[in-house]
Amino acid sequence: MSLSIVIMAAGKGTRMKSAHPKVLHKLAGRPMLAHVINTMGGLHAQQEIVITGHGADQVEAAMRAAFAGAPLSFVRQEPQLGTGHAVQQAVPMLPDEGITLILNGDTPLIEAATACALVDACDGDKLSLLTIDLADPTGYGRIVRDASGQQVLAIVEHKDASQAQRALREVYTGVMAAPTGRLKHWLSKLSNQNAQGEYYLTDVVAMAQAEGVTVVAAQPRDEVEVLGVNSPLQLADLERRYQRGQAERLMEQGVRLADPARFDLRGLLQCGSDVDIDVNCVFEGQVDLGDNVQIGANCVIRNASIGANAVIHPFTHIDGDTLGVSVGEGSLIGPFARLRPGAQLGPEVHIGNFVEVKNSTLGRGAKANHLAYLGDATVGERVNYGAGSITANYDGANKHRTVIGNDVQVGSNCVLVAPITVGDGATIGGGSTIGKDAPAGQLTVARAKQLSLPGWQRPEKIKR
């Protein structure tokens, strides 16, 4: 049966007190709306329609970029006259048969299995609602049932509810699945005669009941799936719950997190066995950690692959961006190291404090332990790159490559002016500025000759 998905994302989000549209605020590094669209991708609907309004240009551009090629379309709702009015905007795009699943763009953690169960419960001829019992139902639409408790009669919005109805704990979560043909008919009959003067989507429930259409209710596996975000505090609360869930899943796989409350994953983290992660680490994009990898406290690691037995010491920043970073097996990185896009380190490489590596390949056992820069360089095996040395890779207009052979010793405080090649086994004397190729196996020094002046007198301070 054909499935259409409608995601409402036109609301202003006044309580966020932000210039940005609410649904673009990020949870785990990704816009809330993108979580919903991504999860719903798993349902393989014939079409997904997002209702936009506030900040529509921004919302549509962000989602088009994030989901290029997906069967995603956008319909604008201007002005915003309520949730029923929002879905009315999608009517011209909906077929006459099949099922329509309706969700909120500000409820990011809904799971595919829950949405599937709701669609199954609809079964093409029933109206199915996702509901939950809340200790504090304030603000939500209440589920009103018949005396037996079996039949759902209506949803009554908090502002329209009587005292007795307000005491009901079962609330509507904002997710429903309806037979599309019937839904279109019901939407055409909505009125705005209510406390808020809005067209309520929730009024379709009483219409279904009046027409003898069965209304069923299903519950989510976990409350977190239906928590909506209206304020920065709610966003932060949901973020912590989400992170806790991710931390628990990793720990169940055997990953040792020093403190699951101080762990943030904004993407995908793949771990081998016996991985240790200390406190306050942030992982972004796609990160792979091999067996026995140790990550020290306060590291930020994005789009990178870390080989088995590598140790990343505290305060290291690794950002692979689009090129990626790879760290070879048994390497030692940091503390306070910075690996930038295109850093490709072989096995047993050592990168120490305040060393920056960008778009460079380092062979097995190469070391740069202190205060150095390697940019656009190809570095051989067992190279020792001295403290304070840099590759001058940029001439003010273009970038150039530095090639350093195997077993090269670069002294401290050298400048290697690219393009340049240093041959295998060469030694570069400390303090040299090297502008021409240095031959293999030789000592190359390029600095002023040392002078000592016998009889030289230090000037004396003039007395006035």
User: What stretches of 77-164 adopt beta strand conformation (E)?
Assistant: 99-104, 127-133, 142-145, 152-156
Does residue 105 touch ligand UD1 according to CB under 6 A? yes
| Contact call for residues 411 and 430 (beta carbons, < 8 A) | yes
User: What is the C-alpha to C-alpha distance for residues 88 and 83, in angstroms, rounded to an integer?
Assistant: 9
Does residue 104 touch ligand UD1 according to CB under 6 A? yes
CB of 134 to ligand UD1, least distance (A): 10
User: What is the C-alpha to C-alpha distance for residues 341 and 302, in angstroms, rounded to an integer?
Assistant: 10
Exactly one of 3, 5, 6, 10 binds ligand UD1 (CB under 6 A); that residue is 10
Whether 370 sits among the annotated catalytic residues: the reply is: yes
User: Which residue stretch of 81-89, 324-332, 377-385, 431-439 sits at the interface with ligand UD1 (rule: CB under 6 A)?
Assistant: 81-89
Does residue 9 touch ligand UD1 according to CB under 6 A? yes
User: What is the C-alpha to C-alpha distance for residues 442 and 409, in angstroms, rounded to an integer?
Assistant: 10
Give me the DSSP letters along 180-222: HHHHHHHHTT----STT----GGGHHHHHHHTT--EEEE--SS
CB of 195 to ligand UD1, least distance (A): 11
> Where in 109-148 is the site for ligand UD1 (CB under 6 A)?
140-141
CB of 21 to Mg ion, least distance (A): 14
Q: Which residues contact 57 (CB under 8 A, 6 or more apart)?
A: none
Query: Residue 325: which H helix or E strand, with range?
Result: strand 325-327
Does residue 359 touch ligand UD1 according to CB under 6 A? no
| Contact call for residues 235 and 27 (beta carbons, < 8 A) | yes
CA atoms within 13 A on the CB side of 274: 7
Exactly one of 5, 11, 32, 119 binds ligand UD1 (CB under 6 A); that residue is 11
Catalytic residue among 158, 317, 370, 400: 370
> Taking CB within 5 to 8 Å according to partner kind, which of Mg ion, ligand UD1, none is near residue 83?
ligand UD1
CA atoms within 13 A on the CB side of 385: 37
Does residue 201 touch ligand UD1 according to CB under 6 A? yes
> Taking CB within 5 to 8 Å according to partner kind, which of ligand UD1, Mg ion, none is near residue 4?
none
Find, among 391, 388, 387, 394, the residue nearest to 404 by Cα.
Answer: 391
Which residue has the closest beta carbon to ligand UD1?
141
Exactly one of 6, 32, 86, 257 binds ligand UD1 (CB under 6 A); that residue is 86
Q: What is the dihedral of CA 7, 10, 12, 15, to 10 degrees?
A: -10
CA atoms within 13 A on the CB side of 122: 31
> Taking CB within 5 to 8 Å according to partner kind, which of Mg ion, ligand UD1, none is near residue 372?
none
> Taking CB within 5 to 8 Å according to partner kind, which of Mg ion, ligand UD1, none is near residue 128?
none
> Where in 166-185 is the site for ligand UD1 (CB under 6 A)?
171-174
CB of 15 to Mg ion, least distance (A): 10
Exactly one of 35, 85, 184, 340 binds ligand UD1 (CB under 6 A); that residue is 85
CB of 118 to ligand UD1, least distance (A): 14
User: What is the C-alpha to C-alpha distance for residues 301 and 281, in angstroms, rounded to an integer?
Assistant: 8
> Taking CB within 5 to 8 Å according to partner kind, which of Mg ion, ligand UD1, none is near residue 364?
none
User: Which residue stretch of 55-63, 200-208, 260-268, 409-417 sits at the interface with ligand UD1 (rule: CB under 6 A)?
Assistant: 200-208
Tell how many helices (H) and how many strands (E) occur in the chain: 8, 38
> Where in 223-242 is the site for ligand UD1 (CB under 6 A)?
228
CA atoms within 13 A on the CB side of 156: 16
Residues that bind Mg ion (CB under 5 A): 228
Exactly one of 3, 81, 94, 289 binds ligand UD1 (CB under 6 A); that residue is 81
CB of 161 to Mg ion, least distance (A): 16
> Taking CB within 5 to 8 Å according to partner kind, which of ligand UD1, Mg ion, none is near residue 218?
none
User: What is the C-alpha to C-alpha distance for residues 362 and 347, in angstroms, rounded to an integer?
Assistant: 9
Does residue 82 touch ligand UD1 according to CB under 6 A? yes
User: What stretches of 53-204 adopt beta strand conformation (E)?
Assistant: 72-76, 99-104, 127-133, 142-145, 152-156, 170-179
> Taking CB within 5 to 8 Å according to partner kind, which of Mg ion, ligand UD1, none is near residue 363?
none
The footprint of ligand UD1 (CB under 6 A) covers 8-11, 51, 53, 77, 80-83, 85-86, 104-106, 140-141, 155, 157, 171-174, 200-202, 228
Q: Which residues are catalytic?
A: 370
